[in-house]
Amino acid sequence: MVYRFPSWTELKKQRLVLLISFATLLLLMVVYVIWLAPVESEKNDLQAKVKQQTEIIKKYREKLEQAQTIKDNLVKKESELQEMQKRLFRGNDPYQLAASLGERLSSKGDSQQKLDIKTYQVLESKEYGLYQEVHLRFNFMTTIEGLQYFLDRVRKFETAMQVQEINIQRIQRKSGPDLVINVILAALMEKKEKS
């Protein structure tokens, strides 16, 4: 079968159908160019913006989670700081601190514990803003029980304090304290503002 192109007369007969087909095709092209192409372009732009906004929201959520973690850590550190501040010796004078500690740590009045701090000395003081670290040396003679008593008092003491160095020397005695103790303590002191 051979396809033959329609003749001019046949085309004239079908001219209305061809004209309507051509007009419909032209109308569809115009509708596509004027209305559908911009809508599709707008849709693609909106999809890109939505994707971008979703990524930004995701980053903000991550930042909010980090901020919440930081906030929780700050609240925890603040409560730790408040607890530590309760344990600080309040005052401006390291010698006052040494005298107070010497009195509180000795066992005067407790005949069972033979611990009487004879001398104390302020070695050094380091300032950290509103806080001051004071190193104190205490010298005393005692027994092993008295040393245990002293160390237990240091451990349970309400003021933030730590044993930096301890030297123990045993001496030969028939009765009484047989240990010479030289201990260096580091204590934290909260400075009161001078009026």
Q: What is the pLDDT of residue 74?
A: 94
For residues 35 and 78, state if they share a domain.
Answer: yes
For residues 72 and 2, state if they share a domain.
Answer: yes
Q: What is the pLDDT of residue 184?
A: 92
What are the pLDDT digits (tens) for 62-104? 999 999 999 999 999 999 888 877 777 776 778 877 887 777 7
For residues 75 and 94, state if they share a domain.
Answer: no
Contact 153, 104 (CB under 8 A): yes
For residues 14 and 58, state if they share a domain.
Answer: yes
For residues 11 and 46, state if they share a domain.
Answer: yes
Point out the domain boundary residue: 86, 113, 135. 86
CB count in 10 Å sphere of residue 191: 17
For residues 8 and 79, state if they share a domain.
Answer: yes
Residue 195 placed within a domain: no
Where in the sequence is the domain holding 168, given as residue range(s)?
A: 89-190
What are the pLDDT digits (tens) for 34-49? 888 888 888 899 999 9
Quickly state the pLDDT bin for 195 (edges 50, 70, 90): very low
For residues 44 and 101, state if they share a domain.
Answer: no
